Amino acid sequence: MSGKMREGFVNVNGLSTHVITWGGWIEDALNADHKEIVLLITGNPGLAGYYTTFLTRLQSRLGVPVWAVSLAGHVLPPTAINSLPPLRQNPELYNLKGQVEHKLAFIEKYVPQDVKIILIGHSIGAKMILEVLKNDDTRSRVMKAYLLFPTIERMAESPNGKLLTGVIKHLVPVMIFLVWVFTFLPVFVKKFLLAMHFMLRSMPTYHVSTTMQLMNPTVLENILFLALDEMEEVKELDDQSLREVNDLLYLYYGTTDGWVPLKYWKDIAQNHPDLKCVLCENQIDHAFVLRHSDKMADILSDLIQEHEQKH
């Protein structure tokens, strides 16, 4: 199947939503040979553009349609006609609960009923998947759910969570102001500064174009709003819900993860012996898309193919 990438905006829950696909657009009829799709729910920041290298490689190895949906409010639509409802009047659209409802609405509207779904959730996307699986109709259509570096418990107690709630939370107005100032710079200056940032951190500069979308006051405010809501909502592990869907889940934990300390992996492995949760052996970062897209795609495609062969 052709792995040509397409992207665009579709209406989900009244929100203009950014989607990227490989192997056919979401509104096209699926090839009769494929009765399954891979659907990625991003982490936060929820710009699907950060996952393009990862998903391009994944699709080329699996040969099935792959879709990625950006989080609500994290990519601005291209025209003012489709402008996003403002956060302050509509917080319920952009908080964690609203993001879960957004993904359920996307699946109901765009994934044909006879198509099975392989879910991939990265970071807070893993938590969203656990919530999505509480919907009986959606759960019945899911073949497997791969949760990568899953932030599904005690987020505020993690090292990064403490930094966010103790320091960054108080700098939100300053950060939004600085990004507002950044928007007035000439485009070539903005691209140069971002390229230097990635080069100094030994990261690929192809992330510049997506980061240009992120560097917008509206987008950044939505991202930080969701991040702070996560700190309030993602507390103790939902053990009961986990047990109900453990046969669908595969959890992949990092060894150097500031959001998910090793203790979280040890606890879940001990308390849920029937749950498949493994520890990364490759020193891959939580934000794997910044440096390790190809490696993570190879690991995940091998896992998906292995599981499909067993069934």
Catalytic residues: 123, 257, 286
For residue 277, what are the β-bridge partners? 251
- The answer to whether the CB of 119 falls within 8 A of the CB of 145 is yes
Local structure of 121: helix, strand or coil: strand
> Tokens 């509104």 correspond to what residue?
27
C-alpha span between 68 and 78 (Å, rounded):
18
Cβ-count burial 126-141 (b if 16+ within 10 Å, e if not): bbbbbbbbebeebeeb
The answer to whether 109 and 17 are in contact (CB under 8 A) is: no
Which residue in 10, 118, 3, 7 sits closest to 55, CA to CA? 3
CA distance 236 to 199: 38
- Largest Cα–Cα separation, the chain: 55
According to DSSP, residue 300 is labeled H
- How many CB atoms neighbour CB 102 within 10 A? 23
Backbone φ and ψ for 189, nearest 5 degrees, come out as -70, -45
Nearest to 278 by CA among 306, 248, 253, 241: 253
DSSP state for residue 112 in the 8-state scheme: -
Give SS3 for 213: helix
Distances (CA, A) of 15 to 20, 94, 281, 282: 16, 10, 39, 38
Residue whose pair of structure tokens reads 């073949």 in the numeric block: 143
